[in-house]
Amino acid sequence: MKKNDAAAVKSFSMALLFAWGSAVSLQAEAPATASGLAGSSTVLLAADFEVDNLAPWRSDPLPRMGSKPLSHYTEPDGNHCLRANSEADFRAFGVKLADLDLGSIAIADTPWLSWRWQVSRVLQTADATKKAGDDYAARLYLVFSDSRWNPLAIRTLVYIWDNLQPIGTTLPSTWATKRGRMIVLQSGGALAGLWTWERRNVHEDFVSAFGYEPAALRAIVLAADTDQTGERVTTLFDDIRLAATVDP
C-alpha cells in the first residue's frame, strides 16, 4: 500500500473505531481485571500492565487498518509496560470503554488522564502540518462519539510527542481537519530515553481545541507512527489512569 493510501485508511479506520462491538450500559463501578485495570467511583481506568493478561486492551484497535500491535515488555528493573518497535509502520494498542463494562464516559465527570511514555528518539523528517509528514514517535488518541453508526460524529483528541512544533501547540489532524485535533505535549529529543509523566484535564483540552463540549468518551488508543517517514522508533507506555480527581 502506498504511504498516502495507508494514511488515508488510517484516518478512515479511526472513524470506524467505535464499531468494535455492542455498547453496554454505564456502570458506576468497573470490575478489576487481570490486566491491571480497575474501577471505582473516582478511578475508572488504572492500567499498569504488570500481569500477563492484557485484556481488555487489544491489538489492531483500528478496524480495516491492519495496524501492528504493541508488545508486553519487561524493563531491566522488572517493570512491565507496553512497547512499540515501529519501523515504517503504524503500531497501535487500545481499550474500548464498553469492554470495561463502562459503556460511555462523560469526560466532564472524569476528566483527569495521566500516563507516562518514553521514546528512543524523535522522528527527523516528520511534519505535523503535512499529510506526507504525519508521523509521531508517540501518540495517545481519545475517541469521542454519541453515535454508533455515523463516522462523521467521531471526534479525536490526540496527544503527541512531536519533533518540530512547540509544546502546547494545538493543530488539526492533517487527514481529518474538522474532526481531529492534536496537542503537542513533548517536542524534540531532550527527554528521549527517559520516562516522562503527563497529566491532562481532557475535558478542558477538548473544549479548548474544538470550541464545544465533547460527546461521550469511547476509546483510548496508544500508538507509534512511522509509516509516512519510514523512520524507526521504540516507544514505551505505562500507568494509564482515568479518574474524576487528580492522581495523588
- What are the pLDDT digits (tens) for 79-109? 999 999 999 999 999 998 888 877 667 899 9
Ramachandran angles phi, psi of 40, nearest 5°? -155, -170
- The predicted pLDDT at position 24 comes to 26
> Which residues are CB-contacts of 77 (< 8 A; sequence separation ≥ 6)?
none
| Mean pLDDT in residue range 48-66 | 80
* Cα–Cα distances in angstroms (integers) from residue 107 to residues 6, 38, 40, 112, 218, in the given order: 31, 17, 15, 8, 10
- The predicted pLDDT at position 104 comes to 66
**Closest among 146, 168, 171 to 157, alpha carbons compared:** 171
| Mean pLDDT in residue range 21-50 | 54
| Distance (Å, whole) CA 228 – CA 204 | 31
Choice between 129 and 5, residue whose per-residue pLDDT is larger: 129
- The predicted pLDDT at position 109 comes to 93
Output b/e per residue, 232-246; b: 16+ Cβ within 10 A: ebbbbbbbbbbbeee
* Cα–Cα distances in angstroms (integers) from residue 204 to residues 19, 109, 112, 195, 209, in the given order: 26, 12, 10, 25, 9
| Distance (Å, whole) CA 122 – CA 68 | 20
- The predicted pLDDT at position 9 comes to 45
pLDDT band at 154 (very low <50, low <70, confident <90, very high): very high
| Mean pLDDT in residue range 129-141 | 96
Is the per-residue pLDDT at 193 higher than 80?
yes
Is the per-residue pLDDT at 27 higher than 50?
no
Q: Which residue ranges form the domains of the chain, and what is each CATH number?
A: 3-243 (2.60.120.260)
- The predicted pLDDT at position 157 comes to 97
Percent pLDDT > 90 in the chain is 66
Indicate the pairing of strand 90-96 with strand 58-59: antiparallel
- The predicted pLDDT at position 99 comes to 85
